[in-house]
A and B are shown apart, each in its own frame.
Chain A
């Protein structure tokens, strides 16, 4: 009985403290990503790897066309405006650009405050996490996501996506989501947990390079860098510093405007954690 009420009141006081102090600040890690669009060839290997790693259900052509797909990572194609409608054989080649897009793990995530049951929240690793068990599927988070990277299980995909023996290929480290649940990119949280467990067993701190996300591992041109921003020596911190992009700043103050680094929707102050390096193109 004491523990029952104790839990309730502790959780309440934690909650109200979080509100008073304006959010959470004691991050242990701050996992972030950098994607060099110069290196991206738009081959979709990252997306495929994500399907394999994270038990993403395939939904079939019809449902994909109805935009009910479960792709956590998608390679978006954009074409230069003059080329739309009057494509020639080479205009598409010149005018096309690719943008691998996944959950940006915003530090000020718009999806988090609107979830009625707090199923989406920030972890101490700086990740925007989704608790499938807690999700009731109100889909408010997806409505409030400016990038539309949240995927909802419109159907019981688990029943249809992996007919035997394909279910043997499912990743045992993470769940298969049921219908009516929201899901999205986790930055391969199972790999983060696995690496930190290994580090703990070996009695050391987690090191840069211990964690590789599936997309990063698969990218044939190594366009994706992943790591901990709180670790000053990590590749990712260096990449961010080199591009003079900072977390918690909604307007980057760059000494050198030629820097290629940018984050999407900075003007919305959502403070995303994926740094994109702009593609350099001939005009």
Chain B
């Protein structure tokens, strides 16, 4: 197996510095061509799954929310837990592309593009849920503060309004970030494309020629959006946490929810990045770019975040336990020993115990095991969100309203369909846009090769196409 050779070869280096730039272009462009039969099968599968969701939504639109088996105590259930799950998934794209960009961790370069795409698409998936969970979905725009001649404003005190603002601004900026970061690559695509692709890339690359001024503006814009996006990402999930923390229900009214949600978001996002990393590496033969040492680093990052999440989880339990608030304590006990306890303990096992397997190098370097582990981590995180929303609603304060409820088919259809929608968007993305950043991999290769410091000017010279001038020449020329 050639993979085995790669394995031994790659184990020490994030990327082979001797890859020719032309080969990078060729490899990435090749990934966008000629989808195999399996691709179409996957795409059709995702579309079918999504159409189930559409069917469920049409059903719900016509007959009401009742067939989701929601009831007077359980008003949200899976709709909002799935919403939180997808919002969470969207966070690690920003972590990889913006935070690691600022700290100059260049190993992010081959993998941040698909992570950023994942951010955008999971936000687009998450955004569906607060809308479809509305009883009168056709009036969803009323949460926006549009000018109404009747002088009606939305209620600015409601965390749901903050949600609406946070999600729309995060979605807008992450789409911008994804797009702007892709412009140089779109220009590369444009140069060799034909047909509708030519038209598309020509339009989208905005006349990119790769000259000095363009690179300067590009760098500045990219950095600015990265800086803008980081606080936004943190605030978005804090606000989602406030949906719960601002409520007075036991089990929701927890001060530590915002950081806990942000940690959980980064965690599930990182796990999803691992899954997609392995899938892309396998299907697109990206072994040279998505290398083992990079996966190794992502795994370590995931482990650290998992431990942070576990810590915050314990903090939450401890604060409830020692807080001696009887209803909150009852909810906590019901999570562990009540009817939902199998899911709670699965969450603990998948979310807090399983990550310890990431400590083993054998696990980190075994693709099949890592794929399974990363998927299970996300199962754990999905259960975590469910265990936040539902046990609280099943208990709460008023004994008369205590009841256990299991989601109806409409809810499951929506949850399943959301994965179809996400998969569909992602599959289309990887064939229409380069899912590895060509220009940044070139930078990475260049820097690694020359052991050059991250020097803005050198990078700009690099991308103008002038064959790599040495530092001494540069200063001499000036």
Contact = CB atoms under 8 A, between A and B. Distances in A.
A22 B452 CA distance: 60
Interface in A144-171: 144, 146-148, 150-156
Contacts of B398: 146-148
B148 A8 contact: yes
Contacts of B69: 66
Contacts of B140: 136
Contacts of A66: 66, 69, 71
B158 A137 contact: no
B153 A15 contact: yes
A143 B400 CA distance: 15
A142 B63 contact: no
B155 A117 contact: yes
Interface in B112-136: 130, 133-136
Given A68-B66, A118-B155, A134-B142, A139 B75 contact: yes
A147 B140 CA distance: 27
Contacts of B72: 67-69, 142, 148, 150-152
A154 B397 contact: no
Contact of B66 (A115, A138, A148, A154): A154
A115 B134 contact: no
Nearest to A151: B72
Contacts of A17: none
A99 B396 CA distance: 18
A63 interface: yes
Nearest to A140: B160
A179 interface: yes
Contacts of B154: 116-118
Interface string B149-164: 1111111111111001
A117 B135 CA distance: 13
Interface stretch (B195-203, B244-252, B260-268, B466-474): B244-252
A92 interface: no
Interface string B215-258: 00000000000000000000000000001001111000000000
Interface string A73-105: 010101000000000000000000001010000
B160 A116 contact: yes
Interface string A51-82: 00000000000010011110000101010000
A7 B149 contact: yes
A76 B135 contact: no
A140 B140 CA distance: 14
Interface residues of A, number: 52
B182 to A, nearest CB: 34
Contacts of A265: 397
B249 A116 contact: no
B58 to A, nearest CB: 14
A115 B396 CA distance: 19
B151 A10 contact: yes
A63 B66 contact: yes
Interface string B61-97: 0011110011111011000000000000000000000
Interface of A: 4, 7-8, 10-12, 15, 19, 63, 66-69, 74, 76, 78, 99, 101, 110, 113-118, 134-140, 142-144, 146-148, 150-156, 178-182, 265, 268
29 contacts: A15-B153, A15-B156, A66-B71, A68-B72, A69-B72, A74-B400, A101-B400, A110-B247, A114-B246, A115-B155, A117-B142, A117-B155, A118-B153, A118-B158, A136-B135, A136-B136, A137-B65, A137-B135, A139-B76, A140-B160, A142-B72, A143-B249, A143-B393, A148-B401, A152-B135, A154-B70, A154-B71, A155-B63, A180-B65
Interface of B: 63-66, 69-73, 75-76, 130, 133-137, 139-140, 142-143, 147-161, 164, 243, 246-249, 393, 396-401, 403, 405
